[in-house]
Amino acid sequence: MFIFLSTIVLFSACIAVHIVIWRMRLPKRQMRTLFLIFLFGFVGFSAVSLARHTAPLTIAYIAIYFWSVGLSYMITYSAIEADSPTLRLMRFIGASSLEGRSAEEITSFIGQRPFVSARLIALGKSRRVREQEGRFCVSGYESLAFRLILGFRRVYGAIPKGG
Amino acid sequence: MSAILCPIIAIVVNVVAQIIAFRSRRGTHFFRSVVEGFMAGAIACAIIEIIFALSHGFSKEYWALVFLVNAPIYLALSYCTYNFVQLGQTSIRIRMYSEIAAAPDGIDIEELKREYDDEALMRARLKRLLESGDIVGNNGQYCIGRKRFLVIAAVLFGAKRFLLGRESEFEPPK
């Protein structure tokens, strides 16, 4: 019960800090800020637990519980931060009358939301890629997070090209 | 054996089963493989819990550990691994980055824009939604079929309004 309650309290505290910061001022690098909130929260909690002589195995259990729930929230948050084309399209069609939406309406709707360009701009802003003589190149070292995601996906098989 | 290993072993079983199932079907029926992997992991988790209980007894603490700790950890880790694989499959940003990183001299901007154009992206999503029955097409008109994505969208757009103060990244903040 201690593991469960400690994790719930720690996770709730991190979410509360996240909401307060976001309501005050939206961070420029949202995902990184969110990760830092969870990291500092957990480090602080671990330091207090060690000082109070909590068993290391119990702290390890809380770590696994806290990070699995925290990562789940961060993954869900990525869908809050950026628009999902699928959900946006569903909502657009869902907001129509019983007759639905025509192909022309959908095309016009897409024209107002340049998802691909927005992702390219986001890549540039995060300094992952740079533009050079009409070409996009990787800037600096390849991102570890991206390499991990793609490496894990490749274990399942080849990744199809295109959008 | 410590109970902490139960969700960890279960998630390993889940991922290995998913990969075997997906590869044995030559890269088709991704979601079915995910469900099969999840079930295999859940069965592994249940077996380990029973072994653990036989050696430690079925106490109140044991049931609390199973239902309040190990089960949520397994569910959360399954959700994470599923989304981790999905990112490599559907995230536009990650897939574009992978193509740029794979080209030693970089990739031509026009070529990339041709491959990842907004209309093609939406056509692909529309096709997937029509195939799954989430959208129904009739004489060039598109209506909602299954409402499951509308529920998810309502939750996510509500969270967007609450946290970001807007519903879309293409709207200025209010």
**Model pLDDT for residues A39-96, shown as the tens digit of each residue:** 999 999 999 999 999 898 889 989 999 999 999 999 889 888 887 888 888 888 888 8
Co-location of B75 and B10 in the same domain: yes
pLDDT at A71: 94
Chain B residues 5-64 with CB within 8 Å of chain A: 7-8, 18-19, 22-23, 26-27, 30, 61, 64
Answer whether A163 sits within 8 Å of B65, measured CB to CB.
Answer: no
Co-location of B86 and B121 in the same domain: no
Q: In the predicted model, is pLDDT for residue A142 greater than 90?
A: no
Co-location of B11 and B78 in the same domain: yes
The minimum CA-CA distance between A61 and chain B, rounded to whole Å, is 6
pLDDT at A126: 74
- Give Cα B19 distance to the centre of its chain: 14
Of B75, B90, B105, which one is at a domain's C-terminal end? B90
From residue A94, alpha-carbon distances to B14, B97, B150 in Å are 35, 32, 7
Answer whether B121 sits within 8 Å of A116, measured CB to CB.
Answer: yes
Percent of chain A whose pLDDT exceeds 90: 34
Answer whether A69 sits within 8 Å of B95, measured CB to CB.
Answer: no
Q: In the predicted model, is pLDDT for residue B82 greater than 80?
A: yes
Q: In the predicted model, is pLDDT for residue B46 greater than 60?
A: yes
**pTM of the predicted model, to two decimals?**
0.80
Confidence tier at B174 by pLDDT (50, 70, 90): low
Two structure tokens written together for A71: 């990562």
Residue B141 domain-assigned (yes or no): yes
Q: Of the candidates A141, A160, A132, A7, which has an alpha carbon nearest to the alpha carbon of residue A73?
A: A7
Its ipTM equals: 0.79
The minimum CA-CA distance between B136 and chain A, rounded to whole Å, is 9
Confidence tier at A38 by pLDDT (50, 70, 90): very high
Asked if B146 and B132 count as a contact pair (C-beta separation under 8 A), the reply is yes
Structural domain containing residue B24: 5-90
Co-location of B123 and B162 in the same domain: yes
**Model pLDDT for residues B118-165, shown as the tens digit of each residue:** 777 777 788 888 888 888 888 788 888 888 888 988 898 898 888 888
**Model pLDDT for residues B58-79, shown as the tens digit of each residue:** 777 777 777 888 899 999 999 9
Q: What is the dihedral of CA A120, A125, A127, A132, to 10 degrees?
A: 60
Round the average pLDDT of chain A to a whole number and report it: 85
The minimum CA-CA distance between B119 and chain A, rounded to whole Å, is 7
**Model pLDDT for residues A143-163, shown as the tens digit of each residue:** 777 778 878 877 877 666 554
Confidence tier at B172 by pLDDT (50, 70, 90): low
Find the length of chain A.
163
Co-location of B10 and B45 in the same domain: yes
Answer whether A138 sits within 8 Å of B121, measured CB to CB.
Answer: no
Contacts of B147 in chain A (CB under 8 A): 94
**B131 and chain A in contact, CB less than 8 A:** no
Backbone angles phi, psi at A102, to 5 degrees: -85, 165
pLDDT at B173: 61
Separation CA A14–CA A35 (nearest Å)? 10
Co-location of B122 and B85 in the same domain: no
Residue B49 domain-assigned (yes or no): yes
What residue spans define the domains of chain A?
A: 2-81, 85-156
Total domains, chain B:
2
Residue B108 domain-assigned (yes or no): no
For the segment A124-143, the average pLDDT, to the nearest whole number, is 78
